[in-house]
Amino acid sequence: MIEEAAKLLARSRFAIAFTGAGISAESGVPTFRGFNGLWKKYRPEELATPEAFWKNPRLVWEFYMWRMNLIRKAKPNDAHYALAELERMGILKAVITQNVDDLHREAGTKNLIELHGNIFRVKCTSCSYREYLKESGRVDEFLQEKDVPKCPNCGSLLRPDVVWFGEALPEDTLDKAFRLAERAQVCIVIGTSGIVYPAAYIPQIVKERGGTIIEINVEKSGITPIADIFLRGKAGEVMDKIVRLIK
Ligand code: NAD
Ligand code: ZN
């Protein structure tokens, strides 16, 4: 099975990857299921919403600061590096991720589409102010801040530049992802439950257009019914083997 997956990828002319929280699990970033009971007994679905933010911005910011702090200590794993390597080899044309952890970029992936934003980016709730904290070198300063962060431009509340439950994805980002999916001959789907829409349309579009789906997950997911090859296992271990086989 894994040999077949490697062969398919090596021979493909346009391959993409679609990733979810599971690809970062081996980096120590919990998946949403892994969160349960971990942070003040709130479910992410109760905190990652505009309603929660406007009701209690302090609580939601505390949750994001906690996650940002956890994520900044995480390093990419073999799966992130394998995807960057496949891109350098000219096999992979893009990585479309639902993750906000920035680990694909850290691993060296160039053509990266972040469907749900990035936890190190913040934006103003009133004006057009945006900041990428890694670029401005303000991650530490931000995490030490005791107050709810305010916009340096207009003084309104800042918020994480991520897509919350119930919010629309940025149209240009989604368009780009759909166009890549339409062209893809092969799509490697890694570590996603495949139940968050519209992101989960990506592999479905690939399949409808006659492309092949290779799935890597520790258990069956919403994508498994349309997967041509299902590789059960940890993302890092399986992806490392695939890259070795291709080389
Ligand atoms: P999910 O938490 O719903 O599902 C994770 C999937 O990964 C599951 O199917 C699980 O079986 C699989 N998995 C767990 N460990 C694995 C491993 N070592 N190797 C391979 N697969 C493994 O995640 P989702 O599908 O991405 O959807 C949840 C939403 O939560 C997304 O929209 C995402 O933005 C957000 N989220 C992001 C992060 C992050 O940025 N790292 C973390 C948690 C949640
Ligand atoms: Zn502002």
**Averaged pLDDT, 142-164:** 95
* Peptide linkage before 198 cis (omega within 30 of 0): yes
State in Å: Cα 227 to ligand 1 middle.
17
Dihedrals φ, ψ of 191, to 5°?
60, 45
Q: Which helix (H) or strand (E) holds 17?
A: strand 15-19
Structure-block tokens of residue 207: 């399949």
Sequence ranges of the domains in the chain: 2-28+76-116+168-246, 32-73+121-162
For the beta carbon of residue 90, count every other beta carbon within 10 angstroms: 9
For the segment 215-225, what is each residue's pLDDT rounded down to a tens digit? 999 999 999 99
Q: Which of the four pLDDT bands, split at 50, 70 and 90, describes residue 94?
A: very high
Enumerate the β-bridge partners of residue 113: 96
State in Å: Cα 128 to ligand 1 middle.
30
Q: Which of the four pLDDT bands, split at 50, 70 and 90, describes residue 45?
A: confident
Q: Which helix (H) or strand (E) holds 230?
A: strand 229-232
What homologous superfamily does CATH list for 2-28+76-116+168-246? TPP-binding domain (3.40.50.1220)
CATH 3.40.50.1100, domain 32-73+121-162, yes or no: no
The reported pLDDT for the residue numbered 39 is 72
The reported pLDDT for the residue numbered 43 is 83
**Averaged pLDDT, 25-34:** 87
Cα–Cα distance measured from residue 189 to residue 89, given in angstroms and rounded to the nearest whole number: 19
Per the annotation, the verdict on 116 as an active-site residue is: yes
Structure-block tokens of residue 226: 């349309």
What's the whole-model pTM score?
A: 0.96
Cα–Cα distance measured from residue 173 to residue 192, given in angstroms and rounded to the nearest whole number: 19
Do 2-28+76-116+168-246 and 32-73+121-162 have matching folds?
Answer: no
Model confidence at 35: pLDDT above 80:
no
List all residues whose CB is within 6 A of at least one atom of ligand 1: 20-22, 24-26, 29, 31-33, 98-101, 116, 191-193, 196, 216-219, 221, 234-235
Q: Which of the four pLDDT bands, split at 50, 70 and 90, describes residue 37?
A: low
What value does the CA radius of gyration of the chain take, rounded to a whole number of Å?
18
DSSP-derived letter for residue 41 is T
